Amino acid sequence: DTAVSQTPKYLVTQMGNDKSIKCEQNLGHDTMYWYKQDSKKFLKIMFSYNNKELIINETVPNRFSPKSPDKAHLNLHINSLELGDSAVYFCASSQGPSPLHFGNGTRLTVT
C-alpha cells in the first residue's frame, strides 16, 4: 500500500564503513529523487533520476553513488562514511513537474 518506501528506517554505523539505502515507489512515477535533511531541517536535493537516467547531480561528494535499476527503484550507496553524513535521507518521486511524494526517511547516524 505504501507509495514510496525506504529501507532501512534507521542506520547506525561507524566512520569509514560503506552503506546502502533502498527506495521503491509504486505510484508509476517517472522521476525519483534523493534529498538530505540535516540537523537544522534543511532539505537539500542530491540526485534526480528520470526513467533510470541521472538528470540532476548536485554538488555531492563522489562517495555518494545513486543507482536506478528501473524507474520504480532508486538506491543510494555511500562509501567511506563520515561524521558529516549523519542526517535523514528522503527518497521522493513525482510524475514530471508535479508534487513530490516522500518516503518516510532513513535516519543515518555515523559514529
Cell of 108: 543515518
Closest of 108, 61, 59 to residue 83, by C-alpha: 108
Choose the stretch contacting other proteins; rule: CB under 8 A; options: 13-21, 62-70, 73-81, 97-105.
Answer: 97-105
Residue 40 binds other proteins, judged by CB under 8 A: yes
Q: Judge whether 74 and 34 are in contact, CB under 8 Å.
A: yes
Q: Which is nearer to other proteins, 75 or 106 (CB)?
A: 106
Question: In whole angstroms, how close is the CB of 45 to other proteins at the nearest point?
Answer: 6
Does 60 bind other proteins (CB under 8 A)? Our answer is no
Cα separation of 45 and 29, whole Å? 18
Report the residue from 18, 56, 61, 111 that binds other proteins according to the rule CB under 8 A: 56
